[in-house]
């Protein structure tokens, strides 16, 4: 039933995105890439997928330029899809970009706080997080101005409202600002996919809820783990946890009380997936992680982070088994981001001559 009219507006987009998904690198591609001796070989291997974008690079390009070019491709495709999207899908895709906007805004706030020339910073911003009023941010010279006249105009304004004042921007660590925004963003996005009439009760709501819940849990766990040994108090930490997800509310409550890795492990015990992650990672020494000076090759050095990425990719892959859903756009972007990270990682390993860890990429196809 829900698929009856889906194709009227969104059939083309779905087709395109499924096409893009088939263009993703497969395990065989990655195996070939890991055999490369030089960056030029790698470039050649990437030819079919990224030829147009990589062709302008000089011989033996730096890894960062490869990363930039591969991102360019994602951006170009995303913009094409966005331009063709209508109605609630367009709105959905806008939501997708807010995550990047938060990073950009955090960057600009940092720049403004340190009285940097913010024009320079625009180049560093993620292109997916570009919004029309962003260049205006550069006009602001102090944080109060930035807050009162500029940030209010951005799509992120609702996330600032109520939780951050302009004094907070000045005083709080930028990481706290960023994570507060992100929490608000995730909650809003979750709310959006579960309340919009076009999406309620459709596979979109179902798949997106799963993805966002996972993202929320991941952030909550990460924030907890990373806050050990910092001045972030437990109460402040609690404010950064998104108020949904599989861990919410009991898990997050326990997380907010956790003092060490063990505490976190207990908090996530209720969720089978995370439990296995922690068991696997716990052996490696937990928060400290296996030392990477030794190369980490001996013990299949999977970190918690790696396992989260792996899980994210699997959920994203699963999204493509559903029909008539916006979630595939989200899944596709995530898969492509992982692909870019994989390529960068492999390129880095080749450039640094550290082949023993080259297989740390995550491939699900």
CB of 129 to other proteins, least distance (A): 10
In the chain, % helix, strand, coil (3-state, to 5) comes to 70, 0, 30
Nearer to other proteins, 123 or 132 (CB): 123
Q: Does 352 bind other proteins (CB under 8 A)?
A: yes
Q: Is residue 167 classed as helix, strand or coil in its secondary structure?
A: helix
Annotate 191-216 with b (16+ C-beta within 10 A) or e (fewer). Answer: ebbbebebbeebbbbbbbbebbbbbb
Select 8 or 293, whichever has its Cβ closest to other proteins.
293
Site string for other proteins, 121-160 (x = CB under 8 A): x--x-x----------------------------------
Binder of other proteins out of 226, 243, 272, 323 (CB under 8 A)? 226
Q: What are the tokens at 28?
A: 């065989």
Nearer to other proteins, 2 or 236 (CB): 236
Give the x/- contact pattern for other proteins in 70-109, rule: CB under 8 A.
---------------------------------x--xx--
Binding part of the chain for other proteins, among 6-14, 149-157, 311-319, 340-348 by CB under 8 A, reads 340-348
293 φ, ψ (degrees, to nearest 5): -65, -35
**CB closer to other proteins, 50 vs 345:** 345
Q: Are 303 and 282 in contact (CB under 8 A)?
A: no
> How far are the Cα atoms of 120, 337, 346, 362 from residue 43, in angstroms, in the given order?
29, 18, 11, 19
Token pair, residue 160, equals 């600032």
Please report the DSSP string for 51-105 in residue order.
HHHHTTSPSS--HHHHHHHHHHHHHHHHHHHHHH--HHHHHHHHHHHHHHHHHHH
Report the chain's terminal Cα–Cα distance, integer Å.
31
283 part of the interface to other proteins, by CB under 8 A = no
The answer to the question of residue 303 lying near other proteins (CB under 8 A) is yes
Asked if 305 interacts with other proteins (CB under 8 A), we say yes
Count the site residues for other proteins by CB under 8 A.
Answer: 54
Q: Give me the residues that bind other proteins (CB under 8 A), please.
A: 62-64, 103, 106-107, 110-111, 113-114, 116, 121, 124, 126, 173-176, 178-179, 182, 218-219, 222-223, 225-227, 229-232, 240, 287-289, 291-293, 295, 303-305, 337, 341, 344-345, 348-349, 351-354, 357
């Amino acid at each position: 039933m829900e698929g009856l009219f889906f194709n009227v507006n969104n059939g083309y987009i779905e087709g395109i995105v499924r096409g893009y998904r088939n263009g993703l690198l497969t395990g065989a591609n990655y195996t070939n890439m890991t055999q490369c001796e030089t960056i030029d070989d790698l470039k050649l291997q990437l030819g079919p997928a990224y030829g147009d974008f990589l062709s302008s690079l000089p011989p033996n390009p730096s890894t960062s330029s490869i990363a930039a070019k591969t991102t360019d491709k994602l951006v170009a495709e995303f913009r094409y899809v966005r331009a063709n999207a209508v109605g609630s899908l367009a709105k959905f895709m806008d939501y997708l970009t807010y995550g990047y906007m938060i990073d950009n805004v955090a960057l600009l706030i940092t720049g403004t706080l340190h009285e940097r020339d913010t024009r320079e910073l625009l180049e560093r911003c993620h292109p997916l997080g570009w919004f029309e009023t962003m260049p205006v941010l550069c006009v602001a010279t102090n944080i109060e101005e930035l807050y009162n006249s500029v940030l209010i105009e951005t799509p992120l304004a609702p996330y600032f409202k109520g939780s951050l004042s302009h004094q907070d921007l000045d005083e709080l660590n930028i990481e706290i600002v960023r994570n507060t925004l992100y929490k608000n963003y995730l909650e809003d996005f979750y709310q959006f996919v579960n309340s919009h009439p076009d999406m309620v009760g459709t596979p979109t709501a179902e798949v997106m809820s799963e993805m966002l819940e996972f993202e929320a849990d991941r952030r909550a766990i990460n924030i907890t783990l990373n806050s050990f040994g910092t001045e972030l108090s437990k109460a402040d930490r609690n404010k950064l946890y998104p108020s949904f997800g599989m861990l919410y509310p009991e898990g997050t409550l326990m997380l907010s009380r956790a003092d060490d890795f063990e505490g976190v492990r207990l908090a996530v015990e209720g969720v089978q997936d995370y439990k296995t992650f922690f068991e696997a990672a716990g052996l490696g020494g937990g928060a400290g992680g296996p030392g990477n000076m030794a190369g980490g090759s001996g013990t299949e050095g999977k970190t918690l982070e790696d396992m989260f990425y792996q899980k994210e990719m699997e959920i994203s892959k699963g999204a493509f088994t559903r029909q008539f859903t916006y979630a595939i756009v989200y899944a596709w972007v995530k898969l492509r981001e992982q692909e870019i990270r994989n390529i960068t990682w492999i390129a880095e390993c080749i450039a640094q001559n550290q082949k023993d860890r080259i297989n740390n990429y995550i491939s699900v196809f």
